[in-house]
Amino acid sequence: MYKIPDKYFHRLHQIRPRYKHDIENILLYVTTEISQIEDGDIEEFNSKLFNALKLNNGSVKMCDDTY
């Protein structure tokens, strides 16, 4: 069985249920945002991805300000 080398491994979480009616759009949004993040360390990547998810219009109207 193939194992991804640790330096390339990044765990992705499942899309939250709040996106279940808009799954195609959110997957496209997430993959686009990931592809635009430049090389850096994992903490920087996580921070940029988290910020991109917070700025997604669907997230803004679906959740409260708990960040």
What CA–CA distance (Å, rounded) separates 21 from 31? 18
- Spatial neighbors of 54 by CB under 8 A, at least 6 apart, are 60, 67
Q: Are 14 and 53 in contact (CB under 8 A)?
A: no
Q: Which pTM value belongs to this model?
A: 0.54
Whether residue 32 is contained in a domain is answered as yes
Q: Give the chain's domain count.
A: 1
Q: Letter for the amino acid at 49?
A: L
Whether residue 50 is contained in a domain is answered as yes
Whether residue 27 is contained in a domain is answered as yes
Hey, what are 45's tokens? 């990547």
What CA–CA distance (Å, rounded) separates 13 from 31? 13
Whether residue 49 is contained in a domain is answered as yes
What CA–CA distance (Å, rounded) separates 9 from 3? 9
Tens-digit pLDDT profile for the chain (67 aa)?
Answer: 888 888 888 777 665 666 667 777 888 888 899 999 888 888 999 899 888 888 876 554 545 444 4
The whole-number pLDDT of residue 61 equals: 52
Domain that holds residue 26: 6-62
Whether residue 1 is contained in a domain is answered as no
